[in-house]
Amino acid sequence: MKSVGILTVLLTPNSFEGFISPQSKVICRKRSRQYAGWIPLRRSLGCSGSLKRRSTSQSFNSTYKSSKGGVSRSIVDKEISEIVERILLQSRKNRNDNKEEDSLQPSMKTGLTKVHLNILSQTQSRQRFVSGQDPLRITVKENPTKKWLQKNAATVQLLINGTTVDNSFASFDKFQWLDEDDRINLVEQHSMHSFALVGEINIKKPGYLNILSTNAAGSSAELRRMATTSKEWDRWKNSELYKKLVYEELGQQTVGRSSGDRLWITGFSLSGKGGQIYSLDVESGEIESVNHRTCEAIRWPNESNHVPKSLIETTTPITPNYNYHIHPETLLDDALLVSDGFLVPGKDKGGLYVIKNPGNKDAEWNVCLTGGSHIGPAEDHGWFYHRSVWIDLTNDGRKSILTARAKLKKGAGNSNFQSQLVWIEMPKPYRVDEATGAPLEDDGTFFDPFNSRHLPWKSNVLVEGPDVMFSIADMDPTDNTVEVFASHFFNRKVTMHSIERGDQPLIVFDRTIDNNCGAAFGCILANLDPAGKCNNNGRIVVDSGSTVPTLKVGDAFSHLLVTSHECSHQEGGESSFDESNKSKKINGGSLFAYRVPDSSNNKDAWKYEPWLRTLVISDFNVKGQLNNMINPGAPGFVYTFYAKKKKKDLIQRPLIAIAGDCAESAYILRPYHKEDNNENDNIEEDLNAQYKLMCEIECGSTVGSIGVGYDNFMYAEQEENYAKLYIPCYEKDKILVFAMGSGGVEK
């Protein structure tokens, strides 16, 4: 069976490492055979075993059929409950066994010479460092010692400002030598944190990362894995009734459990026929992959996102005497929305796809809502999509999709790109059942918006121009509009568009915020003001535009953050911003912060007043390689996050993370403090938009995105509730996992 990924956990010196197959079975690379919970299930293929399983499954089927007649239904129900209880007990035992075994340190050096033992002793120590007042340059190198002498072990070695971690003044161990007062002073004045490399995830060509809840997409694949790794599965696996009943009981038993982090990874390549979509359970380390049919359909998967549990939810009548209600069959507990396509030939026929039960080979299916190979209007073909958002723009409870798309017209050059902001309308049900409130088709069957009769969904062009990324806010909750902030990569500007909700949503107001920003790319809403200091004047977040949900629906925000692949100050021309830090030289790609105008005296100030632009950081330059010759640029996406979960309730401002894209690095910025001021700084006006570089992680490969979660990464030694940074290294086929911490000083 073909392996889709390798996961290496850096727990302690001489730590556990393992391969993970498509069905998440781990092959232990240990001399000890004690990892019972991680060893793959060996299924007997003998004739007698097959006949025995067939007879037992037939017995179960006949027992269940007789139980439906009232003969022994209670016996079957009791048996299923007992089976599920044993499955859950075995699952918990496996995880506990892994934790206990991972704390052991069996020798991995048997048979090596003393010279090699000395080399390994220098590279097996935990790589942990601390930030400070000055920025750190973290260089990721492949360690040939680990690569050749420790097969399947972690191969990464970190260098800090050109030296090894142990020899650096930023070493975590050396930081502990300081007096407690000195350490506390560093923490308070310079947002000091510790970083530790805790894992490597070896996945082919990782591009976009997104962390979603374990109770959402991927949950059915997890239940199936729990069932199939039990001893009972071999006995009853040929019975479809058994599968159905066990899945149902498992689902009921796990309802209400606390949700964790599941990392979703999309990958793509110029030469491959299809894309790749993987998921990683952060707690257990289990990796799943979507099936080959989905991979072949989605050739260049970009951002993946959740599908709302209910696509229809409102009490607004669509016809007299009928209301929508939540109906059980409208619930989509386990589905992904994937935006697909890129500008290169063969990948440019993108679309929007919904994947139901991703990773569950018994139940997975996908459907294309627009674009792709569907028969539909010619004007909907040949587009590529980077992100898409579920939103009700019709005020009737239907969650349609808002997206931006672009395509290359005949010819070459940016002027030959066409781009649009598009509303993909979810179909209406024919009627709603008066007694149950269930939406129905015209033939009386239950309404299914993904049924072929409703495909493709209707595309409605709202405005020309937006092409890649966007965010959504409600600048005035008293009216019936929402505002879209869009970065224009090809048209090189930042715009805002007010969409009036209704039967036919339309743009009622728009403005250009900045047309001198260069090729705008990332675009998110952020609150850079200290807690309690944001004068939001009622403006709230609808969708922050970020895959790191620091700001959720209804939160206040103070700034719009935009990354630009380059910046040029043009003479003349219209501009709707004032600029802070005018004296700073701009070279290469940049990150800009636009402060929302204060609406205390004029609630429409955001419409007509200039947006104060601050240059946060600049000098991002592309490192040219053969692999990134197609439309290279830097930086990529921007994120805000807190080092520790729930810190946003305190006075601290967030950290900023930037995916360098073709700059081949990831960047972490910390808030500017007055203690940082020196004669070379020129701080003007918007102090809360001032940030300093905390560290640059030089990966030596394209960093397309960054994932940020707060659940512990497997069983590695780490501090609870601190951020875990997932950094993809595209050309190196791996994802690095860094765990942040307090540095030994609890703040």
Mean pLDDT of the region 595-615:
91
Is the pLDDT assigned to residue 230 strictly greater than 60?
yes
Q: Which among 102, 276, 111 has a CA at the least distance from the CA of 199?
A: 102
Cα gap 608→629, rounded to integer Å: 40
For residue 19, the model assigns a pLDDT of 33
Is the pLDDT assigned to residue 122 strictly greater than 80?
no
Is the pLDDT assigned to residue 740 strictly greater than 60?
yes
Is the pLDDT assigned to residue 715 strictly greater than 70?
yes
Burial class of residue 272, CB neighbours in 10 A (0-12, 13-18, 19+): middle
Coil, strand or helix at 90: helix
For residue 726, the model assigns a pLDDT of 98
Stronger pLDDT, 555 or 126, i.e. the higher one:
555
Min mean pLDDT across 63-77, 391-405, 663-677 is at: 63-77
Mean pLDDT of the region 681-687:
66
Helix (H) or strand (E) holding 263, with range, is strand 261-267
Task: State the average pLDDT for the chain.
Answer: 77
Burial class of residue 323, CB neighbours in 10 A (0-12, 13-18, 19+): middle
Rounded percentage of the chain residues whose pLDDT exceeds 90: 43
Could you tell me the end-to-end alpha-carbon distance of the chain, in angstroms, rounded to an integer? 48
Min mean pLDDT across 193-197, 218-222, 459-463, 640-644 is at: 218-222
For residue 596, the model assigns a pLDDT of 94
For residue 187, the model assigns a pLDDT of 65
Mean pLDDT of the region 446-475:
94
DSSP 8-class letter at 40: P
Cα gap 15→19, rounded to integer Å: 14
* Local confidence band at 215 (pLDDT 50, 70, 90 cut-offs): confident
Mean pLDDT of the region 173-190:
68
Q: What is the pLDDT of residues 16-25, one digit of tens each?
A: 333 333 333 3
Rounded percentage of the chain residues whose pLDDT exceeds 70: 65
Total count of residues recorded for the chain? 747
Q: Which among 661, 648, 641 has a CA at the least distance from the CA of 738?
A: 641
Residue 232 half-sphere exposure, CB side, CA atoms within 13 Å? 20
Mean pLDDT of the region 373-377:
71
**Range list of β-strands (E), 565-680:** 577-580, 589-595, 611-620, 638-641, 655-659, 665-671
Min mean pLDDT across 100-109, 191-200, 277-286, 332-341 is at: 100-109
Stronger pLDDT, 269 or 405, i.e. the higher one:
405
For residue 59, the model assigns a pLDDT of 46
Q: Which among 267, 217, 211 has a CA at the least distance from the CA of 548?
A: 211
Is the pLDDT assigned to residue 41 strictly greater than 90?
no
* Local confidence band at 286 (pLDDT 50, 70, 90 cut-offs): confident
Cα gap 487→485, rounded to integer Å: 7
Burial class of residue 375, CB neighbours in 10 A (0-12, 13-18, 19+): exposed
Min mean pLDDT across 52-61, 261-270, 430-439 is at: 52-61
* Local confidence band at 54 (pLDDT 50, 70, 90 cut-offs): very low
Cα gap 297→353, rounded to integer Å: 9
Is the pLDDT assigned to residue 511 strictly greater than 70?
yes
* Local confidence band at 508 (pLDDT 50, 70, 90 cut-offs): very high
